[in-house]
Chain A
Amino acid sequence: MKNFTFAFLFVFFVSFPIFGQKAKPPVKPVEQIRGAISGTVFDETGSPIEDAEILIYSVGLQRFPESFRETSDRNGKFRFENLKPRRYKISVRYAGYVLPEEFETSIENQKTYQINQELNLIVKKGGAITGKVLDENGQPIINVRVRIVRIRDEFGQKIPAQEFARYSQQNFTDDRGIYRIFGLTAGSYLVYVGDDYAYEQNLKTKETSPVYHPSDSVDTAGEVRVGFGEEVNSVDINFRSIQGFRISGTILGATPKAANNGSVAISLVNATNGVETVQTQINERDGKYAFQIEQIPDGEYEIRALQFGEKGIFSRNPIRKIKIKSADVSGLVLNLKSLNSIKGQVLIEKSPVLKAIKDCTETAETPLTSMIIKFDSAEKEKSILDSIEKIQQNISAAPEENGDFEINRLEGGKYYLNADFNDENLFVKEIFQQISTKEKRDLSNGLNLQNGENLENIKIIFSEGAAQISGKVIISEEEKSKNPAAKFIVYLIPADAENKDNILRYAESVSNSDQTFMFKNIASGNYFVSSENYSPDKEKTQKFQNPKFWDAKERLKLFEEAKNKGITQIIKPCQSFTIEIKNGQ
């Protein structure tokens, strides 16, 4: 279906013929392709919405974000013209309403759109949370800022902390002490008062840390669940004094010559729920960078200091965890380290022999600009702050028309390629560093970045002729009666010994609750297929669990186990087929 959409697109907007001609180099440069994204905004009753703002923005651009705004007309219609063939995410602003698809996944996994798509966007009336803020004597507190943070989605799944900023909303209490926050996406929220700069709030919260509904510090805050169109009332906050403590220390490795007059930005985040507790900046004084953060209540935190270097690249400290328990923490030393960048090029290798293969004929040329290149950190314990920063820094990249890409601000460590091809016909053939014209360093099993190192001339070779496999894990009647919606992790493991340590040939996929699964962008060859029960960590979302095969030991174990079971699946270029495997196979 996807192939069809793509072919359709090219028939209209690219002048060169595509069917059966793929061995030929493209006649027209990709940069001249332009298209439109158009659609209609409706409410739940199917009435068109006028004057909604539709924002689209291209994914993975390092320099200028390409974002475009349109307003729907009286028929709910909108149209973006003259767009480059990139991947776009969408956002709708219409006071009091929400576009659910914007928030039902993490921003990273949010649906992307391509040019020449026609969209129907249905907005839902958001939920509302309302209540009173009262002081110790039960008197209303007037004009105090109430904030909310969404910590669970509509289905009760915990939201990764980096997503918090997307839902943070605020409002003030009125002369009766009443606040109302509305237009909320369905989910569970924390509601709190405090941590403000304003004079009034300085007076009120001087002796206290933020107070959460009903009358708590962040650790014991009560969750408030709200659905679309619902109003939850009596979400009161009984204000009281919550004791806080001081965190102080010094920063090493910062330079007064850095941008912004050499100031260092410090961020303190609660390690339990990711709520940013403090954000501040300090400057050099008497040759030192000393900091002091006040009013931090008991709990666990992560602290990060960072500085702009030349050319906008950060230096920062490895995240430090801090535990506050009824006492100040002093003498903390944060060591700033320079960050890394990766520069390289994506190339598509043409395979003339594919022309002869029947399955390989009906494919189109995919613009490189519509792909997304990412490097995932192999670090297992991903900290809350780390994940917040990943979103802020947008460390995925969309290649330029010539395939050049650049990713900045990576911390030292091991990284693995995570490519979104936007083309089912492609697979990753190789990734290496071109050291000289003759010499190249294979990086298929990950990139090791030393702090401050900038890796250049990274080549990612995509090859045509990828296969795709859909399938189903067959479970016994007994298993079915126990849990009909059981999920499995299905592994694709290279069967040829020469590839047993090649990560690019491994793949894993989590099945749906009907036990069906899918693999795309697979290189042809011999594979083993195996499965195991999927038991996700409830407190983590799936994307925070690294693939098992990244780890060399686990990879070998997977290979040996699959080999012993001895069922080999032969996958041919461009093949698309369905298999069934038994649980445990």
Chain B
Amino acid sequence: MKFIRFTFRFVGLLILISGFLVSPTFSQTKETEFITNQATVSGKISIEGKPAANVAIGIIKASADWDDKPQATAKTDADGKFLLENLPAGSYYLRPEVAGFIYAGANDDESFRGEGKAVILEAGEKLENADIKLVRGAALTGRLTDSEGKPLISEQIKLETYNEKGEKTFARYNYYSGQGLTDDRGVYRFYGLKAGKYIVSFGLDAKKGGVNESNGVMKKSYHSLTYYPSVQNEKDAKIVELNVGETAENIDLRMGKKGQAFKISGKLLNEETGKPFEKERAFVSAIPTEVEADFGFPNDSVKEDGSFELRGFLPGKYIINMRFFPETEFFVPSTNFEINDKDLTNLKIYGKKGLSLSGFAKLENKSQTNIPVNLQSIGLLIFGDQFNLAKTFKSDRRTQIKSDGTFRFPALQSGELTLITYSGVFGLKIAKIEKEGVPLEKINLVEGQSIKDLLVTIRYGTNRLQGEIRFADGGGVPSDSEIRLIAKPTEQGRLDKSEAIADERGKFLLEGLTPEQYDVKVVIAKKNEDWNDSNGKILAQTRIFLVAGVDGQTVFNVNLNQ
């Protein structure tokens, strides 16, 4: 989430500068579907046990992009019933439009995950009783004022709660709809909250550091961290306890005196000439390294004379990141700095000529399938430690493959890099990366040596493998866990794989496969765990050969107690 938010901010900045930045869209791409044997899903939506009439519900493909339209939509009738029709076999999420409401019972996390309820549909299946039980979310509202009682406007209130282990954590709410942001009266409101205990605060903790940047403005002052009911010490904070559907009002915060925030300033110079860059334009930002900053960071463009200035820093440790736009051959190594009790001026930061990573990309199984995309519409993306600005902040570099298949990433530092595609077309993946005929798992850039001859093989898969997991003890999956399926081609040096989550019934569908031999693993893991090999427990494993144009079928018998 953090990653996305930052990327958007940065892109926003770039759009401002370039006037118009158009990225390729692929919304025109439509997969061909067989209209025969369509499946349906029906069920009932209830709110606090009563049928919820007139609620919109959609079913969206698991492989859909975030802005894709649902496959089908419906509205509940007076009895809360809905019917979604004309659904091709596939993997879906069932997603009701229930802002302000949350799932009742053990699955309550689902309403926050954004995806909704996972449903795997077979051809012609009539899935019934896909019921959704909701309760009204709790709400919390109050007013934020300064030491004179004047409203503090457009400031984000911090809302924390406790997890199952009793640890303090950020409360979940929809940040994008402006929840917790104060209006012109200083009034804020959170809603759609789970029943539970909440801690409300605003301001920055001078002991820990951080930056005061709100609405893109780098502030010269800051408010000290204050908890409801307007107390400085966390131990004096009053916990707000919310029952299901309850609204807590007058959770007001009155801030104390403001503190002074500091600035950093300096110059960006070309290492070769010792002078400011002539044509190249850079953007600068600074991020705290030891505190998890909540919202926004100071950022600005470097001026023509190489000078830059960022404001809003509390005493603490930070990292400066600079990046050229448009991209050049230069990179600027990230620089750490510490602010004590005064401004940090006259910093000198040097931009250096970087390494490059280039090569040739090819679409391997072009003749086998009708690939809905040209080679030059495929984007390549690299990530690695060198783009990670701080512990909590990850970034990447992107480029477009040219029509002759060549690609190039300039301005890199030495280190390990991972290369992936992005195209908006599901099933399009990097199958192999080779250097001088040797398959690579990771790309390692060595100081002083650019890579010029990388061969990237991209494959497009439309094969599917569907099946079912049968539980030996007849039981289901614990509510905090999920069953994951991972299919990997058995061919040496392959990087592509397909992943899926089994639905409540144990059904699964792996998509975007190519006709060849795969190893398929069934793993049980905690819902919030990353998808890597070290997480979870392998429950079953098998080898399957897929024939072009034919969907594979398999059943796994697993025993969770073993």
Contact = CB atoms under 8 A, between A and B. Distances in A.
Given A95-B153, A174-B189, A283-B24, A203 B73 contact: yes
B24 A142 contact: no
A265 B305 CA distance: 36
Contacts of B377: 261, 283
A204 B184 contact: no
Contact of A53 (B24, B58, B60, B217): B217
Interface in B53-67: 54, 56-58, 60, 66-67
A206 B70 CA distance: 10
Interface in B215-230: 215-221
Contact of B95 (A72, A73, A199, A263): A199
Contact of B191 (A171, A175, A202): A175
Contact of B305 (A82, A171, A263, A308): A82
Interface stretch (B15-23, B196-204, B343-351, B467-475): B15-23
A281 B20 CA distance: 13
Contacts of A206: 73
Interface string A458-473: 0000000000000000
A575 to B, nearest CB: 41
Main secondary structure of the interface of B (DSSP, over half): loop
A503 interface: no
B58 A199 contact: yes
B73 A263 contact: no
A564 B221 CA distance: 70
A125 B216 contact: no
Nearest to A135: B54
Nearest to B25: A281
B362 to A, nearest CB: 18
B139 interface: yes
A577 interface: no
Contacts of B26: 283
A95 B22 contact: no
A560 interface: no
Contacts of A261: 24, 376-377, 400
B143 interface: no
A33 to B, nearest CB: 15
A126 interface: yes
Given A95-B154, A172-B177, A263-B25, A203 B218 contact: no
Nearest to B376: A261
A400 interface: no
Contact-residue size bin, chain B (C-beta under 8 Å from the other chain): 35 or more
Given A199-B58, A199-B60, A203-B70, A51 B184 contact: no
Given A69-B300, A260-B23, A200 B99 contact: yes
B208 interface: no
Contacts of A110: none
A392 interface: yes
A193 to B, nearest CB: 13
Contact of A203 (B22, B58, B304, B305): B58
Interface string B123-166: 00000000000001101000000000001011100000000000
Nearest to A203: B56
Interface string A497-520: 000000000000000000000000
A66 interface: yes
Contacts of A68: 303
Interface in A255-269: 259-261, 263, 265
B100 interface: yes
Contacts of A53: 216-218
B311 A71 contact: yes
Contacts of A265: 22
A12 interface: no
B183 interface: yes
A182 B183 contact: yes
A199 B25 CA distance: 17
A50 interface: yes
A293 to B, nearest CB: 12
A498 B60 CA distance: 74
A180 B174 contact: no
Interface string A128-147: 10000001010100110000
Nearest to A97: B153
B233 interface: no
B154 A175 contact: no
A314 to B, nearest CB: 9
Interface of B: 17, 19-20, 22-26, 28, 54, 56-58, 60, 66-67, 69-70, 73, 95, 97, 99-100, 136-137, 139, 151, 153-155, 174, 177-179, 183-184, 189, 191-192, 214-221, 258, 281, 300-301, 303-305, 311, 376-377, 400
In the A-B complex, list the 9 residue pairs whose CB atoms are closest, starting with the nearest. A143-B99, A95-B154, A175-B191, A182-B184, A96-B153, A172-B177, A175-B100, A142-B100, A95-B153
7 contacts: A200-B97, A260-B23, A261-B377, A282-B28, A283-B25, A283-B377, A308-B20
